Amino acid sequence: MSTTLCFDFGNTRLKAAVFQKAGLAEVIMIGKDDPEIIEEVIKKYEPEKTILSSVINHNPEIENLLLAKTKFHKLNYLSNLPFTTPVGKPETIGADRLALAAAAVYFFPRRHNLVIGMGSCITYNFLNKDHEFLGGGISPGMEMRMRALNQFTAKLPIVKPDGNVPLVGYDTLTNILSGVVIGMAHEIDGFVNDYKQRYSNFNVHLTGGDLVYLAPHLKNQIFADPELIFKGLYAISEVNNQ
């Protein structure tokens, strides 16, 4: 059975997805960028191909290990991608955004697509129907907003995310949840509405670990897929790991 491992090294979490016969079989958490951990993962799943998307300064020995043990590709702006990047400095586009864009083009070709990634930051990634990645926007993610409220005030606590959020908070905890979670939902809806005024007939995709908290509060119709980045990585791997 052909197996591909897709590694996603984000600012908050390091994860990998196991694809078998083009199907997503499992998502695993990786504690840290330790080559010994990666080697154990390789021994367990015996992948033929691997791909790495990283937005952190990870241990470079990991790439050497993946290259020695598998057909390996590191995602970057020079990768063979199913879209073009007519922006000022394509080399500055994060690997995670490239993977999300690839997934949108792969599953919804010849359509305008707005892909919203919910990670350490919220990324807005817009591709037109000609498969051009035009850019978008970046704003603080949920954990970053929660921590900022605690760090830059004397008494506000750290609050854990929760999807059950009242509009009118009744204590400090629910006031923070309302401001952050519902505030982010309004931000996302606002961006989507602004895009609607400029572009017609486009898909909105929401992905990432925080979508479970945001999706119930959004008014616009979206496609929600928490593993969209891995599907994009697999599609890129298939083209670049021949």
| Residue-by-residue DSSP string for 184-200 | HHHHHHHHHHHHHHH--
One-letter identity of residue 10: G
- Tell me the two tokens of residue 197: 């005024």
Q: Nearest CA to 83 among 65, 62, 59, 108?
A: 108
> Count of CB atoms within 10 A of residue 119's CB?
23
The three-state secondary structure class of 50 is strand
Polymer length in residues for the chain: 242
> How many angstroms separate the Cα of 241 from the Cα of each of 73, 95, 131, 223?
6, 17, 22, 29
Give the bridge partners for 205, in sequence order: 115, 223
185 and 214 Cβ atoms separated by less than 8 Å? yes
- Tell me the two tokens of residue 195: 């895009």
Catalytic (active-site) positions = 96
Q: Match 């979508």 to its residue by tokens.
A: 211
Strand order, beta sheet including 71-74: 23-30, 14-20, 3-9, 49-54, 71-74
